[in-house]
Structure 1
């Protein structure tokens, strides 16, 4: 069947609703019915936004879709327009007659933006083989988990001279850190103040914006979340914290993460989750007792982007839970399913 991929609009809502009904009946995941993204909707002057696309068949029905997040990224120190992708969502997951819909969707992604990446995929490992058919490349990073008592022991305290404060917004210190340290990484999505305000809007109380100062100077920042689960199959009824996002010089990563971890434990977290693909960030977590758990997360890159990142040094790529799908990913959906 011929497939054309179009920008999601209000007129396609009934078709997406029917697609979702078919997918739900088959036990598969549907697509966003509302054409306006519920996170990072396009806004004047915003440095990052999400755009939804729908795959329409010659039969006049919707058979899939995907999300493209437009971002400004430094690759090897040079700013690039890059897209991160969520999807494809294809009716092929429910009906083999539509097995090739995913191919049409990926081709459309690459036509619209040659520099593309995905991050996560731990809940959809089959995507690696699918994108591999289009010569995408991937590198893996662990999901790290710390299990511990709700009380701090002396070795859990933040380093001497380090202080942590909770801020309502991203101030000028955000831009100072970004300008000073961004080129320490071979790949890093924009973490300037304007981008962070779009990603974590002021007034969104699902997050805590921690600023870590050492000897009075800002060393870095961390965005955390914390919630209590009830009868969860993995977390039972524990209070769980997440290191969603962060930024600092690699040399300050240990102090910044230690301070954020200590803050979460003081707040009552007995489990803390984190994911940093850069070993300069994941190694300090290991030293604090974090251990890899579950499937690895994957940094998946289109051929054009993979070539540039490889030249710059893929081992210095910087990614956190907050990148790409962010709270719309598998962990975010689980973490914010209640009380947000």
Structure 2
């Protein structure tokens, strides 16, 4: 309700909330990495990699890393006010209030974000590490999300925020992000691993990325329609998220083949991606990409020019408060030790 009231007040005074639309065409991303047994995180491999890296920097030997294609000429559009989920066929102090707008100790939006993320109860507690017991792993995830939301960021690209969280907490976080995106005109791409059906239903659009190709990028409601067009059908008791992660796999694809009158032949990721471009939703996406963006319609403040959400002076004050808190903690610890010694 608060976000709706905030948006209503913004509309009444005639303010325009800037939006961000991300377009990418023929995007290629490559990386170099060790493969096979050399990719295992062992002490032997660590020492060999360290030695090879040093010798390679001196141009004495060539690198043994293999080139890997991450993205292979992909194109697409990430629209504002729509939450997009991506499927890939694979010591500090909690003080969000210090990240409020410049010149303020806190603001209403910051308090609201802390409330919807369930962080009010631990607003002044150390996050903790291996030596200091702090907040829970679920709260740590929500702290990271909250830090992004209270800053000047208008576009969020979030990877695996559900790791270590139960399904209820994940649903709460995604639902909070959904409200933020829809009401305040945000832009977001979120990657989740096997979300529950309830969480899956919160998303507006789906991106299915496999072997460097975008197999599908369109509204969530049409994803099953496309794969049925390709001859695959999600079983009634099958979770759609699992279906999307398995339908491009050579090992699992056959179980979803629905055209029993025709023999099954494995359909590669490249063939799926090419067919999507000719599908009615894919053609619409291609037409939008072919239309040049009118730069005169761009908002002058849509992209932040600042690295941090507050000034360096406010950041320095926050660091001073942290150091003061830690100093008091150390003093009390040694006082307790001295008392026990007596």
Q: What TM-score, normalized to structure 1?
A: 0.26
More helix by share: 2
Could you tell me the TM-score, scaled by structure 2's length? Answer: 0.26
